[in-house]
Amino acid sequence: MFKKLRNRLILINFGISTVVILITFTAIYITSTRSADMRPPMMEVSVDSEASKLFDAWIRSEREEAARNLLLSLIVSGIGIELAVVFISYYLAEEAIKPVREAYESQKVFIANASHEIKTPLAAISANLEAADIKNNHWIDNVAMETEKLTALNSELLTLARTDLINTVTSEEVNVKELVEKQLKSFEPRMNDIKFRKELNVSDKAKVNASDFSQLLGILMDNAIKYSDKKITLTLEDHVLKVTNDGATISKDALPHVFDRFYQSDKNSEGVGLGLSIAKSLADRNHWNLSVKSNSNTTFTLNF
């Protein structure tokens, strides 16, 4: 994230400096060449016409040579200035985003620690509610329901924090087809009213982090079930996983933000908008590419 921000700052500075240099150096070149052409003629001397032609040709040659030298000097100077701008911009960009990076890292640690501390009392509340065994009391049922929601949210925050803090992952050769089949079994009870089709056209093993892959697939399937109308399609080919649902089309304005944290295109939907951002974080730390397209259907594509 910060690398993209730094590169964007450098690109902006480079673009501005390029425009300024082009305008300035063009003005210098045009002004210099025009002033040379507009110099008053030298005093006429008593020479024959042939010598006069040779003298005029020499003058033109000298002016053209001077113009070429000026143009070459401006080009070399411009390149030198642009290189200096890039190096200076890199340094300034790093210094500019340093406080933001430090604050962001502190925020990640805080979220991880806070989520871990909240996890214990939530577990205690859930355990006490089960131990109380109070039936047909809507107040107790409301407490249990809200506790489940808070537990799910805390789990997502903790997962997101851990994903941000752990940048290195270990991969091993696994049977991706079996991994997908195993993960899909947990979603079968939720797909009674959904027409689900899967195409698993892969037999070879792939080197992936099995835990991250399963979690990412689970997020994509959960998202598809939430927003699909009647159909979900999952296809798996060589290093490409696609999950498609026939739900409402994501608008062009919302599409670039679907992986943003806490972003929800539908404000009335369940959750707080962390699932897809966790999926994106998992994909990024494994150097996978996760993308989305939404036309008549919405398709999430994972290249791993």
For the chain, which residues make up each domain, given as ranges? 1-39+55-165, 172-303
CA–CA distance, 111 with 160 (Å, rounded to integer): 9
* 8 A C-beta contact, residue 195 and residue 229: no
Cα 27 versus chain centre, distance: 40
Q: Are strands 289-294 and 172-174 parallel, antiparallel or unpaired?
A: unpaired
Rg of the Cα atoms in the chain: 33
Confidence band, pLDDT 50/70/90 cuts, at residue 3: confident
CA 288-292-298 angle, to 5 degrees, is 140
225-244: per-residue pLDDT in tens? 988 888 999 999 989 999 99
pLDDT at 198: 92
**Domain covering 172-303 in this structure, CATH number:** 3.30.565.10
Pick from 85-89, 100-104, 152-156 the range whose average pLDDT is largest.
85-89
Please tell me the least confidently modeled range out of 21-25, 94-98, 237-241. Answer: 94-98
* 8 A C-beta contact, residue 169 and residue 304: no
Confidence band, pLDDT 50/70/90 cuts, at residue 216: very high
Q: Which residues contact 151 (CB under 8 A, 6 or more apart)?
A: 119, 122, 123, 126
Asked if pLDDT for residue 177 goes beyond 60, the answer is yes
Asked if pLDDT for residue 39 goes beyond 80, the answer is no
245-286: per-residue pLDDT in tens? 998 888 888 888 888 887 777 666 666 678 898 899 889 889
- When pLDDT is averaged across residues 210-231 and rounded to a whole number, the result is 91
Asked if pLDDT for residue 45 goes beyond 60, the answer is no
Asked if pLDDT for residue 43 goes beyond 60, the answer is no
Share of the chain above pLDDT 70, in %: 92
**Residue among 71, 69, 97, 79 nearest 10 (CA):** 97
Name 101's bridge partners: none
Mean pLDDT estimate for the chain: 83
Structure tokens at 54: 């040779």
pLDDT at 233: 94
| Alpha-carbon distances of 304 from 182, 256, 294, rounded to whole Å | 18, 21, 21
Q: 3-state class of 294 per DSSP?
A: strand
Helix (H) or strand (E) holding 53: helix 49-132
Q: Which amino acid is at 127?
A: A
Asked if pLDDT for residue 61 goes beyond 60, the answer is yes
pTM reported for the whole predicted model? 0.60
Q: Which amino acid is at 241?
A: L
pLDDT at 186: 87
